[in-house]
Amino acid sequence: MVLPSRTFVVGVGPGDPELLTLRAARVLERSDVILHPGPRDDAGFAIEVVTPLLRPDQEVRGMALAMRRGRDDGSVGYDRVALALAGVARGGRTAAFLTEGDPMLFGTGASVAERLRALAPEVPVEIIPGVSALAAAAARLGWPLARKDEILTICPATYHAEQVGAILDRGGPVCWLKAADVLPTLVEELRRRGRLDRATLVERVGRPDERIFVDLAAALEEDLSYFTLILVR
Ligand SMILES: C[S@@+](CC[C@H](N)C(=O)[O-])C[C@H]1O[C@@H](n2cnc3c(N)ncnc32)[C@H](O)[C@@H]1O
């Protein structure tokens, strides 16, 4: 038996509550239970974006999914979230799992939806797209991500530290996600190619504590968060 759509994976955008879509706001309004990847019920990147929209009668659960820097398939954590969503739906209530940016771009939400479909195929899940951090950073800087015939590379840098030079040599704009770990390599490879001035680092775009470094070398001294990306044109 297929239940009416009672589970949602919701992209909450990069951090600025004004970049939440109307659809996301409407789904949150009708959700009885809100799950999110944060370490506690009331703390985490995604839940902080939507907290002003929530009512006291809505239940909020932090699922403590670590934003790991290393290689890890995270499937145990995703199963836990998927089963929690299914449990709420089977009880006749509506549940939403929050994910930062867009769920389908390196998003935890995409994996949760996949596991939910596998573990509880009778529970329909709807994915609500969100504004990705890439789009928000490009808009903030006034740098098009790609135009005309350009090929945009989006690289989760943590996994490809040894290929930084080769990726730059392909040409075209590059967006480096999970960028903090590879910053020293990136600075060196860009400098070698005379392209250091073609890169900008954006941390926590859209948040009150957003930081932008047009001088990447200056950022080497900083303690950068996981929520850091670098655009190179
Ligand atoms: C696993 S990816 C998730 C991307 C997300 N689904 C999206 O659409 O933006 C996580 C990486 O996205 C980037 N990121 C996410 N939110 C960000 C923000 N507010 N500011 C800067 N970078 C961000 C960082 O590079 C971070 O390491």
179 lines ligand 1 (CB under 6 A): yes
Taking the C-alpha atoms of residue 35 and residue 96, their distance in angstroms, rounded to an integer, is 6
Query: Does the pLDDT value for residue 20 go beyond 70?
Result: yes
Query: Does the pLDDT value for residue 5 go beyond 70?
Result: no
Q: How confident is the model at residue 119 (pLDDT cuts 50, 70, 90)?
A: very high
Residue ranges per structural domain of the chain = 7-128, 133-232
Question: What CATH number does the domain located at 7-128 have?
Answer: 3.40.1010.10
Give residue-wise pLDDT tens across range 157-187. 999 999 999 999 999 999 999 999 899 999 9
Strand 228-232 relative to strand 199-203: parallel, antiparallel, unpaired? antiparallel
Q: Which atom of ligand 1 is nearest to the CA of 204?
A: 20
To which CATH superfamily is domain 133-232 assigned? Tetrapyrrole methylase, C-terminal domain (3.30.950.10)
pTM over cut 0.85? yes
Q: Which are the contacts of 46, defined by CB distance < 8 A and separation ≥ 6? A: 12, 36, 37, 38, 98, 99, 100
Q: pLDDT value at position 76?
A: 73
The residue to mutate among 67, 100, 127, having the most atoms of ligand 1 within 8 angstroms of its beta carbon, is: 100
